[in-house]
Amino acid sequence: MAVFDDIKLGLEQAIEYEKGDLKAKKTTMAVLPLESFTSAEIKEIRVGAGMTQALFAKYLGVSVKTVEAWESGRNHPEGAACRMLALTRNDPKFPVASGIVAK
């Protein structure tokens, strides 16, 4: 009967909301801007996570040439790669802990 009671409560709350008798709950979130990384920082993140360039490239979903270019300063990561770099910098165990990299 608990499922029925949950559904009934939800419907009653929806009716109250439509009548203006109930305020909707809302959560406000903000997305932080992407960080930039120098070639030295990228290499430091990779080495700190204990990865070769080849493994790091697989982890990030890019080619080894891309990692080489980042670490030499010829190119710079963008978008999701920057998010992954930040996560890995903040927690060098993240690749393994998240299940992306298996030991």
**DSSP 8-state assignment for residue 31:** P
Phi, psi of 29 (to 5 degrees): -130, 155
Write the pLDDT tens digit of every residue in 28-56: 999 999 999 999 999 999 999 999 999 99
CA 87, CA 83: separation in Å to the nearest integer? 6
Instruction: Give the global pTM.
Output: 0.74
Tokens for 88, please give them.
């890995």
Can you give the pLDDT at residue 10? 86
Can you give the pLDDT at residue 70? 98
* Residue 1 pLDDT class (50, 70, 90 cuts): low
* Residues counted in the chain: 103
Domains of the chain, CATH where assigned:
39-97 (1.10.260)
- With 0-12 CB in 10 A as exposed, 13-18 as middle and 19+ as buried, what is 3? exposed
